[in-house]
Structure 1
Amino acid sequence: MSESSGHARFFPYDEPYDHQEDAMGNIREALVEERDVLFEGACGTGKTLASLVPALEYGRAAGKTVVITTNVHQQTRQFIEEARAINDQKPIRSVVFRGKSSMCHIDVGYEECQALRDTTRDLVDKEQDLAELEDREGELLDASKEGDGEAAQARGSVMDEIDDVEASIEALQEERNICDRYYNNLTGETDEFYQWLYEDVRTPDEIYERAHAMDFCGYELLKDGIEGVDLVICNYHHLLDPMIREQFFRWLGRDPEDIIVVFDEAHNVADAARDHASRKLAEQTLEGALDELDESDDARADPAANVIETFRDALVETYEDSFGFGERETVDEDWEDVPIDNEDGRDDLSVAFLQNYTGQGFSTDLDQALALGEELDRRYEQAYKDGEATTRKECPTLSAASFIEEWMESSVEPGQYPVLGVRRTETGVVGRAELYTCLPQQVTRPLFEELHSTILMSATLRPFEVTEDVLGLDDPVTMAYGEQFPEEKRRTYAVETPALFASKRDDPTVQETVGGVIEDTVEFTPGNTLVFFPSYAEAERYYHRFSGDATPYLDEPATRAEEMRREFTAEADAVLFTSLWGTLAEGVSFDDDDARSVVVVGVPYPHLDDRREAVQRAYEGAFGDEGSDEDAGWRYAVEIPTVRKTRQALGRVIRSPEDFGARVLVDERYTHSQRVELGEYSVYPSFPPEERSEHIDIDPEKLKFAMLNFYSDMNAWDGGPPQP
């Protein structure tokens, strides 16, 4: 790296790859111009350093803080490793931030913690007031002994104040609604902790253990001590949740325009933004609000109960009316959607609410409910602070009224999808209302506009124009670096099996063909093989069909994927069956012998439920061109995310210039030769040009010969290769 490059000071290794050097220069220039960056780089090509190094160098020069964020747990560990390497090269102040729930030493919820903090801070403030009053009293006593009559009179007033403050302190101490650890944060000596914290890049677990040993609250120490740091590593929700983001920036001591955010695995930002923007109200909350109002003698309770009860009754009526014969009995413990949206008017719940409501006007009743809810919420907080309650009670009236107001205002807006949910509990079937946000840019555009710059990096961001539209980016810098490692060390085979549509998957002949391709791939791979399927059910199907010599592993939902990965990579000849929608399909490296071949079976289209169709309609309305033959809704909401998922899976192997391996796509929709015949069903055109140019179409029975030749050219066999 040229010594003239300012960011060379932060690059922790001898020399960057050529593409890294180029990317760092482009990113540095974009940061100066306050522009956003879309940065696609093939898996294993050093995107993290290429983004972090110029961001940290520019941030240090311009007084900015860099935040790098991900929704993949394994990536957080990689960020820590990279940050430690940078810190060894050029000392930086960095913090790794995790949610409060996993770092609380006394295991209380957010509301209780907030009230405990406030009460503890009140106690410390009063103790400081007492110390100041006692100092003042001593000064006045000395003056009065010297004959100052006014001092003697003033001393009497100060002593009265001292008595009042002492009584308040005694009451707070007796109530014990304080956090001892946070008290120690406020009154103890914390310099040693912060000196330790900034000597290296500390993990949340290390911070928790250190703070626990020192009898501090580590989470609050981070909040109070991260102002002006160079680098913060955190999860998506610190940026995508508007309420958390506001607090987070305040902890950083930075205005949004002084923050540079690097989004890792940025192809996931759209889905994450949708999830953070969606709002829900459970039937139990409505019931709790009615119970709360029934106990209130406030004049506003009756109109508040009127509007909330009407909404509750409309909710129950709507989901009960949706059940056909026998369907109510099939509802299980998981939330199940009940579609209520109507393209030509109000949703079913809103219609039922408006038809059933009687009174002075639901908006007037809602205003009464909101005002009373806010007052009750203040009372609950004060009662907890004063020790009159052992827990910080939440206010269901405020939650219910706020949601109903938003529902009636927003459920008709473009990009909003109103939906009900039902599930079975011990008391029977219950429901909830949800406003699902279909257009991610409603969340991301305001965020990107207020930040100094964002760097969105992923191995699968193209087509860039789709990413720009979906996230609401204006004129970003775009750059893509394809496979940077030697082409002769990889092969991508597109196997001409029948297209694995749902109607074909149960066909015994198709299963025999696909099973044979998998077994041939495993047998002719000198090491481990990953096999990805569109669902866990399909993975399990072929796991049980597998009869080869390799050790088979089955990844299942709700299992610890990291433990599975360690067991699998410890083998020398194993095959792992998993889902493309699981945690092992992206953000996880299988370097060198950890996995030599990767197989993707079928095209992993997501389950096309009513939500997905709502997203399609929203995308078509926002991005479709009138008169165009192209279905923008399908392309934006289904096809592009599906191809990205496939590309992510292919990127699990071949992670360095020395690494080598084979990628096998099992479905004729991936082939070049069938693209015209398959028409709109072909996904081959949706791959970037340089990637699809490497697809080698091959008959199922010829795959093993091709793999034998490739791995023989790599001198990969210990001893003789298997015989076809």
Structure 2
Amino acid sequence: MEPSQANFCHPYQPYSIQLEFMQSLYRCIEEKQVGIFESPTGTGKSLSLICGALTWLRDHERQSLQGSVEPSEKSDWLAQAEHAAQRRELLVACEELEHKLARVREEEARRRRRREASKGSKKVRIGKENAGNALAEDEFMLNDYDSDRETTSHLSIPNDGFSSATQALLDKLQAPAKKEVEEGKEDRLKIIFCSRTHSQLTQFVNELRRVKPPSSIPADPEEAAPESHIEEGVKHLTLGSRKNLCINPKVERLSSTTAINEQCLELQKPGIPKDKKCPFLGSKDDMERVEAFRDRVVADIKDIEDMGKLGREMELCPYYASRSAITMAEVLTLPYPLLLQKSAREALGVSVKDNVVIIDEAHNLIDAIAATLSTSLRLSQIEQAVQQVTAYAMRFKARLKGKNRVYVMQVIRVLNSMTDCLRATTFKPSSPETTLTAAQLMSGKGVDQIKPHKLLHYLHESKLCHKVDGYAESQSNDQDTYSKGVLIQFQNFLAVLMNPDEEGRFFASRHDKDVSVRYTLLDPREHFRDVVENARAVILAGGTMSPMSDYSDYLFSYLQKTRLSTFSFGHVIPASNLLAQAIVKGPSDVEFDFTFDKRGSEKIMVDLGRLILKACKVVRDGVVVFFPSYDYLAQVVSVWQRLPAEQPIMTALNRVKPIFQESKSLGVDEVLRSYATAIDTGQGGLMLSVMGGKLSEGINFSDKLGRAVISVGLPFPNANGAEWKAKLQHIADVRYQQCKKDGKGEADCQSAAKSASRDYYENACMRSVNQSIGRAIRHRNDYAAILMVDRRFATERIRRKLPGWIQESMAGGVPSWLEMETRLQQFFRGKQ
């Protein structure tokens, strides 16, 4: 299938690399591929994703409709007449839907005009909290629990899990979706777009508003432009968690996502008095309101904030009411966690089956999968949990009967087992971290008789953790000693105790007088495989996806090579707008070797300071320097404050530009504002930052804010730490097993395992470097110098892991600093 439009409905005249991007994306989706797309920030990546994917979607739907209604060449007049009737029905249905949505848009515009006209008038408060007395203790009692109801079909316990009562309510809310079949299409094929944060999704939604894709209605050659009078708007829906969409003041103020989920479900349980139920939940009598919400959500392209405002205006829960629009939507936007967890997708009613999944900002996808399925607890929290459950059991012991009593005692046993294990954990003097096993955590007295999956099912069904938490809060007079939500965190931790040992590890860490235990997922493959195998196509996109080998080797290793494609596109800037170079030696001819053993040399630090000083004299506006760690940044600044004795580096730098420094413990908003102000007032600025820190990702150092970016050293993680040791051993084991399966010898497999481990370690480092150096060039007319200071940047092994557009600019030999300084002067001459 060829695209219906040469420019893919792009709102502007696309650049050649944008056209290439959209063509490759279109082909990838058509051929049902997994595609990895690297396109630098500033090249219009979001618009290219939208235009390429939506053009394919509409072309595909049009072709499908055409194929389903067009008769074969040998058909008789009766079949021809039937075809004409079918096409008219489809066209009428589409026209009716578009006309209805147009009326909704007109009404929305009238509402906006009325709101603007009435600004300043007294606002109506929605969802005002009822004043009430403290909850009665009966609220914290458990319902009778029948063990016969336990079933292995509920072993996946999601944070968004539904009780049967909730599911029945949700079924009512989703009733309008069935009507959609009559109005148009049954659960249409979708583009599911994900990014890390709602702010990034909001940027995507703003771009989506600019695009007018081709119509999906097939044209009839016998009619003159039959679709010309139909403007087929994009049917978009943004989805979020309860934390993002809840409008109930009593629930949304809770501290954690899990607490909000649990309280929401609690307010829906049968037997809850009407005045205690959530006033924003739709009921059987609210179907007309839910339908109105659905139409208003789809008629205009709305972001997550618009959804909340609409819910408050209509006094209807947007988290639940939005489900009715899923069937009608052709583009869904949602954050990572709602896609990556199968339980979350099922709770939302979102299916990836045969749909197109696009994941933006995917450079950290492997880490995001691991983070979504990782969890931690502190010893002090577990001790607090023991106290809370024990106090609850003592208070209600006369009323705890049967299975409730059994399971409450099991919870106390497991908590005590974890407490004893962490108290007994010993650490080497050289390391505050060690590895534990699930067996060690569950080795307490009588714990071997407990079936974790049954206990977890009980906790989910009984809401014990939520009830104990509520009781503990009601009894606490000292908020400083009360820890909210620790039992809910324990419930999440219990779930990962059942994961296979080869998928992840438990690590204990020492923090002053406290000890924490965390579960880290080491193998993300199986947790993303369900998406890959069910979706029509999966697209990973990012500004810096290099190095890409980790995705093919460890995330998609089960795929046939023909199904995985990688693309790396150049920048839209002219070559003359970028100067990228590896710097091996400084102004005093000191070799820059920032390996862990050598970077403590004061001689290296001083010459680095001289290099930065000379660069600051050439570069008029903003210069951003990225260091490998906060500790090393502090170490370098300490040396710069006293050396060289005749004029310390910091004194000299301050005379050229004001200096700003990123802090690990403080936010970056204030320091960024001060930095931008200094540059706007013509003073220029020097920002000292850290690779992998707060300023190295998602911050825009465009134009004057970042005329030069200097990357110092390589930010390798601590390979001696327990977590990285486990990660590297896991990678080596995976590669060794693959090698053995291929029939290779022991020596070859050992070598391959060692090489794979080293490569993975380097890739983690280079992703951090690539994110940092990508902060400067942000649009077509931007320009900047990128200096990579370390002898290793001149090696082929490291250089080939840089983005392609950076490598192209590094062509030629490695210059001396004197030559480099001349190049810098020539590069900026006439530009500043």
| Residues 213/350 of structure 1: CA separation in 2 closer, same or farther (3 Å cut) | same
| Residues 65/285 of structure 1: CA separation in 2 closer, same or farther (3 Å cut) | farther
Q: How far did 1:198 drift? A: 4.0
Structure 2 partner of 1:156: none
What letter is aligned with 1:709? Q
Alignment match of 2:401 (pick from 271, 277, 298)? 298
Between stretches 459-468 and 661-670, larger displacement belongs to 459-468
State the distance in 2 between where 1:612 and 1:379 align. Answer: 33
Structure 1 partner of 2:361: 265
1:239 and 2:334 matched: no
Structure 1 partner of 2:210: 85
Residue 6 of structure 1 aligns to a residue whose secondary structure is: coil
Q: How far did 1:465 drift? A: 3.5
> Where in structure 1 are there 5+ consecutive unaligned residues?
124-167, 328-335, 342-346, 676-681, 718-724
* CA offsets 1:264-309 (integer angstroms, 9 cap, x no match): 1212000011111224466244554455555454344676566555
Structure 1 partner of 2:544: 460
1:414 and 2:513 matched: no
| Residues 707/398 of structure 1: CA separation in 2 closer, same or farther (3 Å cut) | closer
For residues 53-202 of structure 1, the aligned pairs below 5 Å read: 53-60=51-58, 61-62=60-61, 63-71=188-196, 75-86=200-211, 91-105=233-247, 106-108=249-251, 109=254, 172-173=273-274, 176-182=275-281, 186=286, 189=289, 197-202=297-302
Structure 1 partner of 2:129: none
Residue 568 of structure 2 aligns to a residue whose secondary structure is: strand
Residue 280 of structure 2 aligns to a residue whose secondary structure is: helix
State the distance in 2 between where 1:628 and 1:585 align. Answer: 34
CA contact (8 A) 2:39 2:569 kept: yes
Residue 643 of structure 1 aligns to a residue whose secondary structure is: helix
Residue 85 of structure 1 aligns to a residue whose secondary structure is: coil
Structure 1 partner of 2:71: none
Structure 1 partner of 2:122: none
Residue 51 of structure 2 aligns to a residue whose secondary structure is: helix
What letter is aligned with 1:227? T
Between stretches 14-23 and 301-310, larger displacement belongs to 301-310
CA contact (8 A) 2:375 2:492 kept: no
1:502 and 2:588 matched: no
* CA offsets 1:549-590 (integer angstroms, 9 cap, x no match): 223222323544456545534524222221211233233433
State the distance in 2 between where 1:398 and 1:564 align. Answer: 37
CA contact (8 A) 1:306 1:365 kept: no
Structure 1 partner of 2:520: 436
What letter is aligned with 2:194? T
Residue 606 of structure 2 aligns to a residue whose secondary structure is: helix
Structure 2 partner of 1:350: 439
What letter is aligned with 2:191? V
State the distance in 2 between where 1:245 and 1:368 align. Answer: 23
> Where in structure 2 are there 5+ consecutive unaligned residues?
62-187, 215-231, 476-483, 586-591, 642-649, 740-748
For residues 441-590 of structure 1, the aligned pairs below 5 Å read: 441-472=525-556, 474=559, 475-497=563-585, 498-539=592-633, 541-542=636-637, 545=650, 546-557=653-664, 559-561=666-668, 564-565=671-672, 567-570=674-677, 571-572=679-680, 573-590=684-701
What letter is aligned with 1:78? Q
State the distance in 1 between where 2:703 and 2:794 align. Answer: 27
What letter is aligned with 1:247? A
State the distance in 1 between where 2:428 and 2:36 align. Answer: 51
CA contact (8 A) 2:568 2:804 kept: no
Alignment match of 1:597 (pick from 698, 708, 716)? 708
Alignment match of 2:448 (pick from 352, 359, 362)? 362
Residue 493 of structure 1 aligns to a residue whose secondary structure is: strand
Structure 1 partner of 2:463: 377
* CA offsets 1:406-446 (integer angstroms, 9 cap, x no match): 62x546x223212235557xxxx565544321112132122
State the distance in 1 between where 2:413 and 2:309 align. Answer: 50
| Residues 48/377 of structure 1: CA separation in 2 closer, same or farther (3 Å cut) | same
| Residues 556/102 of structure 1: CA separation in 2 closer, same or farther (3 Å cut) | farther
| Residues 88/353 of structure 1: CA separation in 2 closer, same or farther (3 Å cut) | closer
| Residues 298/603 of structure 1: CA separation in 2 closer, same or farther (3 Å cut) | same
TM-score (norm 1): 0.75
1:614 and 2:614 matched: no
Structure 2 partner of 1:647: 770
State the distance in 2 between where 1:405 and 1:111 align. Answer: 14
CA contact (8 A) 1:119 1:177 kept: no
| Residues 512/268 of structure 1: CA separation in 2 closer, same or farther (3 Å cut) | same
Structure 2 partner of 1:225: 325
What letter is aligned with 1:489? N
1:318 and 2:400 matched: no
State the distance in 1 between where 2:234 and 2:305 align. Answer: 20
| Residues 291/52 of structure 1: CA separation in 2 closer, same or farther (3 Å cut) | same
What letter is aligned with 2:607? T
| Residues 490/669 of structure 1: CA separation in 2 closer, same or farther (3 Å cut) | same
Cα RMSD (Å) of the superposition? 4.1
* CA offsets 1:517-569 (integer angstroms, 9 cap, x no match): 11222221132222211223444554963434223222323544456545534
State the distance in 1 between where 2:363 and 2:517 align. Answer: 28
Q: How far did 1:662 drift? A: 0.8
What letter is aligned with 2:576? E
Residue 344 of structure 2 aligns to a residue whose secondary structure is: helix
Alignment match of 1:205 (pick from 305, 311, 328)? 305
Structure 2 partner of 1:130: none
State the distance in 2 between where 1:591 and 1:11 align. Answer: 28
State the distance in 1 between where 2:536 and 2:330 align. Answer: 15
Aligned pairs, number: 624
State the distance in 2 between where 1:580 and 1:499 align. Answer: 17
TM-score (norm 2): 0.66
Residue 366 of structure 2 aligns to a residue whose secondary structure is: helix
Q: How far did 1:399 drift? A: 8.1
Residue 339 of structure 1 aligns to a residue whose secondary structure is: strand
Residue 13 of structure 1 aligns to a residue whose secondary structure is: coil
Residue 502 of structure 1 aligns to a residue whose secondary structure is: coil
For residues 693-704 of structure 1, the aligned pairs below 5 Å read: 694-695=809-810, 697-704=814-821
Identical columns (%) = 17
| Residues 524/177 of structure 1: CA separation in 2 closer, same or farther (3 Å cut) | same
| Residues 711/7 of structure 1: CA separation in 2 closer, same or farther (3 Å cut) | same
